[in-house]
Amino acid sequence: MAAPPSVLHTGLPESLLSDPVAAIRGPGDLVRFYRELAGSAPLLVVTNREPVVWKGGAERFALPPGGVSQTIHRLLCQVGGRWIALRDSGGPDLLRIPGEPGAPGYRLDRLEVPSALMEGHYAGFSNGVLWPFFHDEEGRIGEPPNALAAYREVNRRVAGKVMDSLREGASGGIRPGMIWVHDYQLALVGQEMRRSGGALPPLAFFWHIPWSAPVGGAPPPRWLFEVVTGLLSYDQVGFQTELYRDRFLETVFSLYGSRASWDGETLSVATASGVRRLHPGVFPISVDPDHFRMMSRDPAGMLPALSLLSDCGLAPGTPSGGYLISVDRMDYSKGFLERLSLMEALYENDPSLAGRLALLQIAPPTRLSVEAYRRYAEEVERRSEALNRRFARGAWRPVVTLSRSLDPSLLAPLYRLSRGCLVTATRDGMNLVAKEFLASQDGGSAPLFLSRHTGTAMTMEGLSLIDPADPALSARIVAQGLSMDGRIRERKNRQALADLREHNVYRWMAENLLRPLSRTSKEGALLFARPS
């Protein structure tokens, strides 16, 4: 039997050979890992939304609070490359995003799409059809005429922009180690690129949202075959959980029958344009727990957090200052109505909680160009007002809603100061709020009450799970959790934090990059070729 190749054969450090990603804890580790695998090859990232917000003036642009996009942004700043996104703020088509001194930074190519086309793509098909379908909210599907055509056209234009980047002359073209496309808004980009012909770098795709189980008996929606076939064009398609990956495979089998096979690693499908072979992988997305731990104690965020709480009538240390926190875009999949029912059941079961334990909701509006979202926001407002009328005690209100997004530096201390966190999503690809809350507890004992329908609940152990579909049961679980011995709660939080530190967002990125990059890297190829 041949001996396994030694470190000398690959030139890779021992840590990479024993377990390539387990040691990754922070941005520096990730950058080193990327360099070891890809050398000087840049990375090309493609998203629907931009990683920066144009401000104009001397400042030029600001970074939005978004965790995952900011992690990818930091990696690109360090390793260099290009980011292609649909433009959603003013300014020039091309922005040079600087890195730290000594780091290359990257180029952001912003694709301008006429507003009517964008409306059909974003509000029409992406969020009027795909989002409700994959969140099992088929009753909310509303497909305006030409929405699918707009989605196809925007995907085609994005693919064209990517191909231009690869083709441009020596001055502007890049030869990326891989191309990483994100999310349901851009499922068809890879297929459009392949239609242009020619060799391409490895194409990876990450599907951030859930994947629904195929509906037995009922015919699939007419667009499903097209979206699935589009995904088959990538070399790797990442999902948040095994359940979503397996449902995707089931969907492929239901659409392609015996033309599809899977050996546990490679999915092979005989499509009209030839046999496609790809890796459908499971990569649960995460946060930077150390960043949240530090922010949750930082006086720079703590002082404004304390003053915000006082302004909301929830001054810490006062009898009426206790609160459960929820942080979600105003999206029906986040279970706002179910959460209000849960709070109602909590007060009905224990009226003494009224006046002592409020719900603080950070709920920025979202996707208001989609009618289902506008109607939902109105209904949540009506129900919140009714609950507030019923359980008000003097100036105290049970539901305090801030309809804006807050910077993570303010959110982390708000998580820390709370009595607990309520995550009531009816379906969620992962749910990073749950992870941010656990990281911000760091030694604290406030419990997380987590919907079992989230990717976080499916991929982390030892958490207190609730079911938003059963508010009465969930209210009992919350009441029990709040009265549990503080030492037990603290221990559970510590275990969860240890898990998060191991499975952090940098490791998530490394795992996503590993296989596609290995195809273009001699060392990486050896890494995978070595006998086990």
Measured from the CB atom, is 119 or 183 closer to ligand F6P?
183
Q: Torsion-angle region of residue 50: left (phi > 0), alpha (psi -120 to 50) or beta?
A: beta
Q: Compose the 220-249 pattern: x for residues touching ligand F6P by CB under 6 A, - for all others.
A: ------------------------------
Taking the least distance from each CB to ligand F6P, the nearer of 106 and 134 is: 134
Pick the closer one to ligand F6P by CB: 65 or 313: 65
- Where helices occur in 392-449 by DSSP H, the ranges are 408-417, 432-441
Contacting residue, 108, 129, 154, 209, with ligand F6P by CB under 6 A: 209
Distance of CA 251 to the CA centre of its chain: 22
367 touches ligand F6P by CB under 6 A:
yes
Angle between helices 471-483 and 336-349 (to 10 degrees): 60
Minimum CB distance to ligand F6P, residue 331 (Å): 8
Task: Provide, rounded to whole angstroms, the least separation between the CB of residue 405 and ligand F6P.
Answer: 10
Q: How far is the CB of 205 from ligand F6P (least distance, A)?
A: 13
Q: How far is the CB of 185 from ligand F6P (least distance, A)?
A: 7
435 is a contact residue toward ligand F6P (CB under 6 A): no
Token duo for residue 163: 């191909």
Distance, in Å, from the CA atom of 490 to the CA atom of 272, rounded to the nearest integer, reads 56
Q: Is 448 in contact with 390 (CB distance < 8 Å)?
A: no
Q: What is the CA radius of gyration of the chain?
A: 24
**Positive or negative torsion for Cα 159, 162, 163, 168:** positive
**Any residues with CB less than 8 A from the CB of 78 and at least 6 apart, and which?**
27, 31, 99, 100, 103, 104
**What's the min distance (Å) between Cβ of 312 and ligand F6P?**
25
Least spacing, CB of residue 183 vs ligand F6P, in Å: 5
Q: Which is nearer to ligand F6P, 430 or 466 (CB)?
A: 430
The residue to which tokens 């693919």 are assigned: 159
Q: Which of residues 57-116 bind ligand F6P (CB under 6 A)?
A: 66
When the beta carbons of 49 and 297 are compared against ligand F6P, the nearer one is 49
- Minimum Å gap between C-beta 381 and ligand F6P is 20
**Is 243:458 a contact under the CB 8 Å cutoff?**
yes
Closer of 34 and 373 to ligand F6P (Cβ): 373
Q: How far apart are CA 490 and CA 438, in angstroms?
A: 10
Listed in sequence order, the residues at least 6 apart from 297 whose beta carbon sits closer than 8 Å to its beta carbon are: 413, 416, 442
Of residues 6, 80, 11, the one with CA closest to residue 40: 80
- 410 forms part of the interface with ligand F6P (CB under 6 A): no
Shorter beta-carbon distance to ligand F6P: residue 252 or 430: 430
CB of 49 to ligand F6P, least distance (A): 5
CA atoms of 349 and 361, how far apart (whole Å) = 21
Nearer to ligand F6P, 429 or 444 (CB): 429
Separation of alpha carbons 479 and 496, rounded Å: 21
Q: Site for ligand F6P (CB under 6 A): which residue of 25, 208, 297, 419? A: 208
Output 131 or 391, the one with its CB closest to ligand F6P: 131
Rounded CA-CA distance 73/289 in Å is 18
Beta carbon nearer to ligand F6P, 208 or 383 = 208
Tokens of 476: 């009992």
Which of 413, 429, 447, 455 contacts ligand F6P by CB under 6 A?
Answer: 429
Q: Is 268 in the site for ligand F6P (CB under 6 A)?
A: no
In 295-356 the beta strands, taken as DSSP E runs, fall at: 322-327
Contact pick of 25, 32, 49, 356 for ligand F6P (by CB under 6 A): 49
User: Residues 127 to 186: which contact ligand F6P by CB under 6 A?
Assistant: 183
Among 254, 320, 366, 464, binds ligand F6P (CB under 6 A): 366
- Judged by the rule CB under 6 A, the positions of this chain that interact with ligand F6P are 49, 66, 183, 208-209, 366-367, 429
